[in-house]
Amino acid sequence: MLVLGGSFSFDYGANRNASVFLPLLIAFLGTAAMGFAVIPMLQRLKAGQFIRDDGPQTHFKKAGTPTMGGITFIPIALVIPLIASDFHPEVLAVSLITLSYALIGFVDDWQILVKKNNHGIPPRVKLGLQLLSAIAFCVWLGLEAQPDNITTIDLPLGMVLPLAGLFWPLAVFVFAAESNATNLTDGVDGLAGGTCAIAFLGLAMVVQATHPELTLFCAGMSGACLGFVFHNHHPARVFMGDTGSLALGGALAAVGITSEQLFPLFLISGIFFAESLSVIAQVLYYKATKDETGVGKRLFKMSPLHHHLELSGWSETQIVAAFYAIALLLVLLTLFLL
């Protein structure tokens, strides 16, 4: 049942498409409107982005653009599904883990602003907080779920991969990998917001039959991401910062784990996986090719992958359009394989 404000309700089973569209639309409009109020406030607070010295030279003109834009859409992305699902336990749980990752990102963004450089909280501390939040979520899930059901991964063609106790360290890893992958993807105007909007919409379709309440959550997140892109498209008037990017990855991981849809999550997250893999490959290749002076070779002109494409002559809008198209194809592939 979808209930909004106590005055509007309809049966979810009778009108699934509408019940997904409504929270998406409300979250989109709410986030777009919130941006008009919050962005000037961030400008007055001088919450401007610090550009990394080794980044693309074209990005230096973005210095001073307000960051921490996650505060414009994460609250709306969580409140709408909570109300729509009547505070269903699963929606409440994934909302809390999303909020915890948003708070980790907020502290990191705030430290960057206070220090006036591109270094927030120490990476090990940030990763440790992410892992602690993930462990807490897994403890809740282990207490609430049937162990025989939650510790398996459904694969195409009806195959099932039983993991037993190995599922839990994998789940914690998924949280860390997904949140950091979306964080790495947030480097070009509109890229992370748009690809996450597509990913959440795809995940909503995947879990619709078995976890309808999580479908509402995904729809709200997708709509909020679209509302943020309204202000974040090139040239961006605000950046989401770690406040938004870490939260988005945490939310995707939470839905995939709770709904037992890790394989679809992996496929849908292909863009984020490729971005992370490009960073890992760059580091490993550099270390493997170090000469006697300690200098190695680079596999890419710059990592993550979107920066390599920028330095290869692609415009930001071309990169975003290509990544959006790939994200849509990954969703279609996932739905085809189910």
Do residues 136 and 127 make contact, with C-beta atoms less than 8 angstroms apart?
no
3-state secondary structure of 190: coil
Between 57 and 104, residue with greater pLDDT: 104
Q: Does residue 59 lie in a domain region? A: yes
What is the mean predicted confidence (pLDDT) over 166-184? 96
**Residue 152, beta-bridge partner list:** 162
Count of structural domains, the chain: 1
Q: Does residue 40 lie in a domain region? A: yes
3-state secondary structure of 64: coil
Single-letter residue type at 43: Q
pLDDT reading at 14 higher than 80: no
C-alpha neighbours within 13 Å on the C-beta side of residue 139? 6
Among 139-148, 160-169, 200-209, 289-298, the range scoring the smallest mean pLDDT is 139-148
Q: Does residue 272 lie in a domain region? A: no
Single-letter residue type at 62: K
pLDDT of the residue at 3: 43
Question: What range does the domain containing 113 cover?
Answer: 2-262
Q: Does residue 207 lie in a domain region? A: yes
Angle of CA points 152, 158, 162, to nearest 5°: 20
pLDDT reading at 43 higher than 90: no
Q: Does residue 32 lie in a domain region? A: yes
Q: How many CB atoms lie within 10 A of CB 338?
A: 14
H-run or E-run covering 49: none
Helical spans, DSSP H, in 54-166: 70-84, 89-115, 123-144, 147-150
DSSP 2: E
Q: Does residue 126 lie in a domain region? A: yes
Most confident segment among 9-18, 77-86, 159-168: 77-86
pLDDT of the residue at 146: 61
Q: Does residue 287 lie in a domain region? A: no
pLDDT of the residue at 4: 43
Q: Does residue 80 lie in a domain region? A: yes
Instruction: Give the mean pLDDT of the chain.
Output: 89
3-state secondary structure of 66: strand
The percent of residues in the chain predicted with pLDDT above 70, rounded, is 89
Whole-number Å distance between alpha carbons of 19 and 219: 9
Whole-number Å distance between alpha carbons of 260 and 26: 28
What is the mean predicted confidence (pLDDT) over 218-222? 98
The pTM (predicted TM-score) of the whole model is 0.91
